[in-house]
A and B are shown apart, each in its own frame.
Chain A
Amino acid sequence: MRKYETFFIMDPDLPDEVTAVVDDKLKNIVGSSGGMVLSYVPWGKKKLAYPVKRRSRGLYVLMEYAGGPELVAELERNMRLDERVLKFITVKLEDRFDPEKAEPREAVTPPPFGEEEDVESSGPGILDDEEGLGEGFEGDEEIEDEEE
């Protein structure tokens, strides 16, 4: 058993009941492939950094689960077929994971970003050219003094 997390984007325009159907479907895939879902947290809708399948917003969901490598293949295959899932990424969290020995998980709900309708503001002003470095950064260039 290994521990994985899959962070995926669902179509934001789906009605809630359809979203629930997708939720159950994915959980069932994990369950029927000999894995177990550890947590399933919808993070809410967020504006995407770039359009994915012609959508500029998406519903992010984080699912943590335990299982083998073949489970990941099966899950990702289904996600690719399902048009309601726009994009996903799977990360292995632990190589050896024993669900029996796992300490009772405190309900760590990462701060879902909720409805973010704000305009994407990029962080501190960092310019690309190093002549005009953004504030907060001091260039650490080593300047060799040429001794003639």
Chain B
Amino acid sequence: MAFRRKRRTFHRRKVCRFCVDAELKIDYKDAKTLRYFVTERGKIVPRRISGNCAKHQRKMTLAVKRARQIALLPYTTIHTV
């Protein structure tokens, strides 16, 4: 552990796209936009990856969960039958 490879990767902090663009609205009925924030398996992408700010991540999470309720987004795509 002490001799761990030093990975110094300086990442450009992603800015929250909803903060930058006021036109973008988070809406649970807009599955196309929300699909960008869920993985292929239907999981919600965490903030550190999507680059959302905390406020918009909360709204986004709520929207995804609502979209799942009305079958616009899947709960999961893996089914063990």
Contact = CB atoms under 8 A, between A and B. Distances in A.
B39 A89 contact: no
A138 B14 CA distance: 8
B71 A143 contact: no
Interface string A113-148: 000000000111111101001100111110101101
Interface stretch (A13-21, A22-30, A48-56, A95-103): A48-56
Q: Interface size for chain A: under 10, 10 to 19, 20 to 34, or 35 or more residues?
A: 35 or more
Contacts, number: 83
Nearest to A142: B48
A139 B11 CA distance: 8
A9 to B, nearest CB: 6
Interface string B45-64: 10011110000000000000
State the main secondary structure of chain A at its contact with B.
loop
Interface residues of B, number: 37
A87 interface: yes
Contacts of A62: 29
Interface string A17-49: 000000000000000000000000000001011
Nearest to A133: B49
A148 B2 CA distance: 7
Nearest to A86: B71
B9 A126 contact: no
A12 interface: no
Interface string B1-39: 110101111011110000000000000110010011011
Report the 3 A-B pairs with minimum CB-CB distance, sorted nearest first. A123-B35, A48-B71, A49-B74
20 contacts: A8-B70, A48-B71, A49-B75, A50-B74, A60-B70, A87-B69, A87-B71, A89-B70, A110-B29, A122-B38, A125-B40, A126-B38, A128-B39, A130-B49, A137-B50, A138-B11, A140-B11, A140-B51, A146-B1, A146-B4
Given A60-B70, A122-B35, 8 more contacts: A9-B71, A49-B73, A58-B71, A88-B70, A122-B40, A140-B14, A140-B49, A145-B6
